[in-house]
Amino acid sequence: MTLIKSISGIRGTIGGEPGDNLTPTDIVKFTSAYATFIRKSASENRPRIVVGRDARISGEMVHRIITGTLMAMGCDVTDIGMATTPTTEIAVTKEEAAGGIIITASHNPRQWNALKLLNSRGEFLNAEEGAQILALAASG
């Protein structure tokens, strides 16, 4: 299965080769790009990112990679654990966070997972913001 990259995030089946499926390497790459994007626009030195996830088997692994990468990139993390997409969106505004990541592949089969990216309003990124993150990820 091909790794799918879009303005709302990335998704794919867990495992396989980097750039082909959703691997730990891809998760670090796109989380780092998102953290760089957030840090450029945030007023805080250590912007806060809310992270929530669904109950997929791969969720805990993906969660650990994301939270570790965000902290390594200079962000503070508010971990809300297992949460729905709307709960994570609301938590971003309630916590006055700079953004959020939802770990869920929604309606896709259980072997899939995804990173869905939110702005400081708890909304999915717009096309311009998503394109900036994809460009940051592509530039390495």
Q: Can you tell me the mean pLDDT for 104-131?
A: 92
Q: Is 51 exposed, middle or buried (0-12, 13-18, 19+ CB in 10 A)?
A: buried
What are the tens digits of pLDDT across the range 36-93?
Answer: 999 999 888 999 999 999 999 999 999 999 999 999 999 999 999 999 999 999 999 9
Q: Where are the domains of the chain?
A: 4-139
Q: Does the pLDDT at position 28 exceed 60?
A: yes
Q: Which of 8, 41, 106, 120 is catalytic?
A: 106
6 flagged as catalytic: no
Query: The domain 4-139 is classified under which CATH number: 3.20.20.100, 3.40.50.720, 3.40.120.10, 3.40.309.10?
Result: 3.40.120.10
Characterize the bridge pairing of strands 99-103 and 112-118: antiparallel
Using left for φ > 0, alpha for ψ between -120 and 50, and beta otherwise, residue 64 falls in alpha
Q: For position 109, what pLDDT does the model report?
A: 82
> Angle at the Cα of 101 (from 99 to 105), degrees rounded to 5?
150
Q: Does the pLDDT at position 1 exceed 70?
A: no
What are the tens digits of pLDDT across the range 2-26?
Answer: 788 876 689 999 988 888 889 999 9
Give the Cα separation of 64 and 37 in Å (integer): 20
